[in-house]
Structure 1
Amino acid sequence: MSSRYRLTSVDAVREEGSWAFTVRDEHGTDEEVFLVPCDDEDGDAVEAWVNRCTHEAQRLYRDGIGAIVRNGEVVCPKHGSLFDACSGYCDNGDAADTTLVSVDVDVDDGQVYLTDDDVRFLYEGTKHDDGDDDDPSSTSHLQF
């Protein structure tokens, strides 16, 4: 059985729209991950995705903004590709026919737990790198 690490509450993810944390993978690489609500019958589903578009290494969750989620889809801020918040699949734009990399989480009694045996929780939030991808030069027709 895998171990669990409590991340946050479903209510916090729903109120904020998304919630980020950083993990270390099995290769020693630090990865940003974000949680987004995923509508289900009970209204308490949450999914976790590595913070990287499948088309380019563009961050989907940005500090101060979070992940842009519209109509159940995560929007890539650079090219406008839309990823289903529940499955991670993209059927449009430059990232068409790809799926975001998932991280295993479970929801129990309104709390979100990291359960992925391939990563270890490091801290809440992102790595705050100094790259220029926080403010991408968008080629998308979408306006935020």
Structure 2
Amino acid sequence: MSERTRLTTVEDVHENDSWLFTVRDEYGERDEAILLPCEDGVEAWINRCMHQPQRLDRGFGAAVRDGEVVCPRHGSGFDTCSGYCDNGEAEGTTLVDVEVAVEDGAVYLDDRSYTFDHEGGIDDEDGDGDDGPSSSSHISF
């Protein structure tokens, strides 16, 4: 669907624990995706918990702990490399992947299902500032 687009660097993702960006699907609908650190590289996932429609990165960085991105609503942890959740309300589910490629430390969107829209979340472009549902998690960061 699109030509490969340079997103950021592996170093930036590892330093900040995540990198949020907005993509468009084949119908032009926008969705958010996040890059997460994975061993020496990165993986990309749609920015949504599989248990409920909760953003994992609400615009100020995803909570990443011990190799898992943590859902701010119920505390389910998804492996940053496989996207699989083995705990909490989302146990047994896997995040929706977005294909990326790494070359010389740079990360490229390499998924024909999406085109790059902009860095940051959907709301960053139109400025309505909706941070999504509030957290009911007992976990704080």
Asked whether the two chains share a fold, i.e. TM above 0.5, the reply is yes
Structure 2 counterpart of 1:20: 20
1:82 paired with 2:77, answer: yes
SS at match of 1:23: strand
Cα separation, 2, equivalents of 1:15 and 1:46? 12
Aligned structure 1 segments of 4 or more residues deviating by more than 2 angstroms? 129-132
Deviations, residues 5-64 of structure 1 (Å, cap 9, x unaligned): 10001111111111111000112210000101101xxx2x1000101100010000121x
Does 115-124 or 21-30 show the bigger shift? 21-30
Aligned to 1:34: 34
Partner of 2:58 in structure 1?
Answer: 62
Residues in 2 aligned to 1:32 and 1:137: alpha-carbon distance in whole angstroms: 19
**Count, aligned residues:** 136
Match of 2:46 among 44, 50, 53: 50
Given that 2:85 and 2:94 are in contact with CA atoms closer than 8 Å, whether structure 1 keeps it comes out as yes
The one-letter code of the counterpart of 1:50 is: I
Task: Write the letter of the residue equivalent to 1:62.
Answer: R
2:58–2:131 CA contact under 8 A, matched in 1: no
Identical aligned pairs, as a percentage? 59
Give the Cα–Cα distance (whole angstroms) in 1 for the partners of residues 63 and 129 of structure 2: 21
User: Distance between the aligned counterparts of 1:50 and 1:85, measured in 2?
Assistant: 12
Aligned twin of 2:94: 99
Distance 1:33 1:137 in 2: 20
Gaps of 5+ in 1: none
Structure 2: give runs of 5+ residues left out of the alignment.
none
TM-score w.r.t. length of structure 1: 0.89
Give the Cα separation in 2 of the matches to 1:94 and 1:104: 26
Paired position in structure 2 for 1:133: 132
